[in-house]
Amino acid sequence: MMRNLLIIILFTMMINNSCHRKGDRSIAEKNDSFFITVDRFADIKILRYQVPGFDELSLNQKKQLYYLSQAALWGRDILFDQFYKDNLLIRKTLETIYTTYQGDRTTDDYNAFVVYLKRVWFSSGIHHHYSTEKFIPGFSRDYFRQLIRNSAFSWLKKGDTPELLAEKLIPVMFDMTVDTKRVNLDHSKDLIASSATNFYSGVTEHEATVFYEALENEHQGPPLEYGLNTQLVKENGKLVEKVWRSGGMYGQAIDSIVYWLGKAAEVAEDEQQKKMILQLIRYYETGDLKTWFDYTIQWVNDNSKVDFVNGFVEVYGDPLARKGTWESVVNFRDEVATARTRLLASNAQWFEDHSPVDPRFKKEKSQGVSAKAITIVQLAGDCYPHSPIGINLPNNEWVRSNHGSKSVTLTNIIHSQYVASFNDGLIEEFAFSEQEVERARKYGALALDLHVDMHECLGHASGKMLEHVTAGDLKNYHSTIEETRADLFALYYIMDQKLIDLGLIPSFEVAYAEYDSYIRSGLLVQLTRIESGKEIEESHMRNRQLIASWLFEKGLKDNVIEKIIKDGKTFFKINNYKKMHENIGILLAEIQRVKSEGDIEQARYLVEKYGVKVDSALHCEVLERFKKLKIAPYTGFINPLLIPVMDDGEIIDIRIEYPTDYAEQMLFYSTKYAAGWNY
């Protein structure tokens, strides 16, 4: 549940308004010049993010953040390889050209080459980070051969030549029929055979499904996340798991991660945190899923100021929603902003009890919902360069039900995007009325904060599945249904009197702003992220359109949401916010039932009917309107640099710097944190 809500940042209320979170406005007022776009290419802009409060931390806390950051950066190559088997070879080839090419670097072709390389860096491979569809170079195959001929490939194995390298990579990079999709969710096809992800080799969807169902059926005790940390391959006609662990697959990178985790354990805040880090090390050394299970329980119960995510966690990259992509987020608690999230968490049982879902699917006791706001120090793996803005982990439903979960809001990441997106004209272009625009300006940022908090803290932590039902029962629809459920929970409660009583909102105008934003994004603005003629593939986008389209259809009879054509442009106007709130409750109840019962047929119906198809005429219109605004639809970040200050061989401080060169950071990572396996 790591990449929850990334799209919301760009397509909701991230514009200048007077109601941003208390404690952040002084930063925006004093340091707007810090939040600059350091690079822009294709459909992407790269920002910096600041780490306020770092200098006030203790030396041990700074050391721990430094060590955890090093552990995070050593996992980078794992993700590239997980995403596609040739990604590392392609990246190495492109970087060699970038650093050694002896030809003209001023031509349009060379500029197109640089854009392609930056896209590969950004997406951790040759498939788009969001749509997962392969993107094709903006230069020709012949020019690629020219680039290779005029570059120095000193790292090639004996017998290989630059010409052979070019011929190997050309079909992979240029032929759209080869490994087209990294993650294919089309239920009419074999989900594994039609996906380019490197989680499986020589295995069919049916074989993998039967393999893991057998493991789950044989298992006694609390459920383990079978398949989370392995590549499933067929060898001599038998299915075999290659485990990602020390001494196994990705062993050299994992050994480096383990080393730096060990250093972090030496400066842990207390014995409990030290024990938790050492448990993670044991998991990396053995690859044992029971060890990972025990670690997640310890991690949930750790409330140290310095915190982190590190491991094979999210399953969005696997069409069967089993394999975890490697990722890390290093952070410390934002004490001021945490007050709101803790208030929500302390009332989690009230929200659970008053949810409109069937009582059979409600938790009798909301276990350990730990909520906080955090300041990010380092992003890595599947969280870098594009970052989530909210996190709710762990993903193991049994652990969540019996031990709780951690829900966090990434305050400095949200703030960086907030300031960078002032006055881009997006709201004015797609909002129906000036009243809607003014409501967004006044309450939009507060609505966003609350949606993120409730999505992560309450939505993902709510509800329960029936006995013997697992997340895998929904297969390729699991991620979309889960994100739909969490979004609906947030949408339902943002218009509840409870939020006014808690002092979190001044009036329902905040809810109206969020409803306006959600419908505007789900039915219009998010279409800007899809190429003309394509359907919606990404789970969060499917989730958003599913909700918005269902609500529009449901409200047609009572004119709850109205489609209006004005001056040749399409708008959606909410006429009855109270009725829309009631309809959200109806859909939430059904989505929770689908998850709780593992009803894959209804999941398929809802996702395919409401979340996938795109109105081609409306899509073309939206693309034209968005093009005129000249906005990059995707945002990523460049990491701060933590530098030890030494005295007589001892670290006496950690200094933090903020680079501004995206390419320089990418090349630095590729050189310093290369995992060492053969290309």
219-237: per-residue pLDDT in tens?
999 999 999 999 999 999 9
119-146 residue pLDDT tens: 999 999 999 998 899 999 999 999 999 9
For 655, the enclosing helix (H) or strand (E) is strand 650-657
Locate the domains of the chain by residue range.
37-75+249-636, 85-180
Integer Cα distance of 123 and 608 in angstroms: 26
The two tokens of residue 498 are 């409870």
Residue 423: is its pLDDT beyond 90? Answer: no
Contacts of 20-27 with C-beta under 8 Å, sequence gap 24+, read 20/418, 20/445, 20/446, 21/337, 21/340, 21/411, 21/445, 21/446, 21/449, 22/336, 23/336, 23/337, 24/337, 24/411, 24/415, 27/52, 27/415
Mean pLDDT to the nearest integer, 394-411: 89
158-178 residue pLDDT tens: 889 999 999 999 999 999 999
For 634, the enclosing helix (H) or strand (E) is strand 634-638
What share of the chain in percent tops pLDDT 70?
A: 93
For residue 171, the one-letter residue type is: P
Average pLDDT, the chain: 92
The two tokens of residue 119 are 């896209």
Angle at 335 between CA 332 and CA 337, to 5 degrees: 105
Integer Cα distance of 71 and 654 in angstroms: 16
Integer Cα distance of 369 and 461 in angstroms: 7
Integer Cα distance of 622 and 451 in angstroms: 25
Residue 25: is its pLDDT beyond 60? Answer: no
Integer Cα distance of 591 and 644 in angstroms: 49
Residue 556: is its pLDDT beyond 60? Answer: yes
Give the pLDDT confidence score for residue 12 in this predicted structure.
Answer: 38
Residue 8: is its pLDDT beyond 90? Answer: no
Q: Could you count the other beta carbons within 10 Å of the beta carbon of residue 137?
A: 21
Give the pLDDT confidence score for residue 10 in this predicted structure.
Answer: 38
Any residues with CB less than 8 A from the CB of 628 and at least 6 apart, and which?
429
Residue 279 pLDDT class (50, 70, 90 cuts): very high
321-330 residue pLDDT tens: 999 999 999 9
Three-class SS state of 656:
strand
Q: Which residue has the higher pLDDT, 449 or 76?
A: 76
- Overall fold of domain 37-75+249-636: Fructose-1,6-Bisphosphatase; Chain A, domain 1 (3.30.540)
For 554, the enclosing helix (H) or strand (E) is helix 539-554
Give the pLDDT confidence score for residue 678 in this predicted structure.
Answer: 62
Give the pLDDT confidence score for residue 599 in this predicted structure.
Answer: 97
The sign of the torsion formed by the CA atoms of 420, 511, 395, 475 equals negative
CA-atom Rg of the chain in angstroms: 24
Contact 637, 385 (CB under 8 A): yes
Q: Which residue has the higher pLDDT, 471 or 267?
A: 267
Backbone phi and psi for residue 49, each to the nearest 5 degrees, phi listed first = -130, 145
Residue 369's alpha-carbon distances to 94, 343, 399, 588, in angstroms, are 45, 11, 12, 20
CB-count exposure of residue 248 (10 Å: 0-12, 13-18, 19+):
middle
HSE-up (13 A, CA, CB side) for residue 41? 19
Peptide bond into 385 cis (omega under 30): yes
pTM of full prediction above 0.85: no
Residue 392 pLDDT class (50, 70, 90 cuts): confident
598-630 residue pLDDT tens: 999 999 999 999 999 999 999 999 999 999 998
Phi-psi region at 125: left, alpha or beta (left = phi > 0; alpha = psi -120 to 50)? left
Give the pLDDT confidence score for residue 675 in this predicted structure.
Answer: 81
What share of the chain in percent tops pLDDT 90?
A: 80
Among the listed residues 183, 69, 51, 204, the one whose alpha carbon sits nearest the alpha carbon of residue 125? 183
